[in-house]
Amino acid sequence: MIPLSAGELDARLRELLAEDVGPGDVTTEWTVPADARARGRLLAKSACIVSGLPVARRTFALLDPALGWKNEAAAGTEAAPGATLAELEGRARALLTAERVALNLLQRMCGIATATRRYVRAVAGTGCRILDTRKTAPGLRAFDRIAVADGGGSNHRAGLYDQVLIKDNHRRLAGGVANAVRRARDRAPTGMKIEVEVETEEELRQALSAGADIVLIDNQAPETVGQWSTLARHSARPPWIEASGNMTLDRVGAYAAAGADAISVGALTHSVEAADISLELEVQPT
């Protein structure tokens, strides 16, 4: 699943290649014969959850439309150290020039998918979902969201346009939770969810009274999340409950057990530990 059209994906990848290549890959062009061909494999050097291989493939193919590609590992599967993620062949210069951009995206995406899988496992059996956030590197959000989904997580709103999320600054500038929710409700199209972040029980009660669809309980202890979740679910129109605030792997289980329907984890994408993946090439016999 790539949340970009084919044209959008190519445009994004061409921008990334242009940043790296500039007026030319001097090392490759000055050392590798123009007619040389190579074959190789993408090799996992650390254990990881697979994500991003279609993106990597397209990166190489933009520089070599006749790229050969086979034995691609399925997205979401576990790869052990030493596993081959895909095999490829093509013009040697094209493979070398595209290598860094392809690997940067692939390593980042596998790293995000791997971290997401750990969080998903930490809340297994509770019914709680792990969500990503908008804390992504500019320009890479679409790729980050793919990786979260490949890791078994769920995507939160894509941007500022597809869901209302009223946070602390919105509340203050709008004159409180109730005013902010009502104003958003007056403008939101049918079907668009309205979420509001609350930090006190009074703000929670205002959100419930105003008819928020989702309540985001931020920076509270699991016990408080449990108490507020119970209060919310006994309201006339029970909302969905999301918990957030410095969520770490050792804390999410307690919040899931407390009754959160979902936990948003900024660390999935703002503190990425890239997977270790290499491209091993050799001369392709003619």
Domain boundaries, the chain: 6-120+272-283, 126-270
H/E segment holding residue 132: none
For 100-140, how does the pLDDT look when each residue is reduced to its tens digit (9 = 90+)? Answer: 999 999 999 999 999 999 999 999 999 999 999 999 999 99
The answer to whether 18 and 45 are in contact (CB under 8 A) is: no
When the candidates are 3.40.630.10, 2.60.40.10, 3.30.70.240, 3.90.1170.20, the CATH number that belongs to 6-120+272-283 is 3.90.1170.20
- Strands in 277-283's sheet, in edge-to-edge order, are 68-70, 84-91, 37-44, 277-283
Res. 2: pLDDT tops 80: no
Per-chain mean pLDDT for the chain:
96
- Average pLDDT of 4-29? 97
Active-site residue set: 100, 135, 167, 197, 218
Tokens of 249: 């792997």
Distance CA 44, CA 33 (A): 28
Question: 286 falls in which pLDDT band (50, 70, 90)?
Answer: confident
- Give the pLDDT score at 285: 82
DSSP state of 162: S
Res. 14: pLDDT tops 70: yes
- Give the pLDDT score at 24: 97
When the candidates are 3.20.20.70, 3.40.309.10, 3.40.50.300, 3.40.190.170, the CATH number that belongs to 126-270 is 3.20.20.70
- Give the pLDDT score at 3: 75
- Give the pLDDT score at 65: 98
Distance CA 80, CA 196 (A): 41
Q: What is the pTM of this model?
A: 0.95
- Give the pLDDT score at 119: 98
Q: Where are the alpha helices (DSSP H) in the chain?
A: 6-21, 26-31, 53-63, 92-122, 141-150, 168-174, 177-187, 201-210, 222-233, 252-258, 267-270
Question: 186 falls in which pLDDT band (50, 70, 90)?
Answer: very high
DSSP state of 152: T
Res. 1: pLDDT tops 70: no
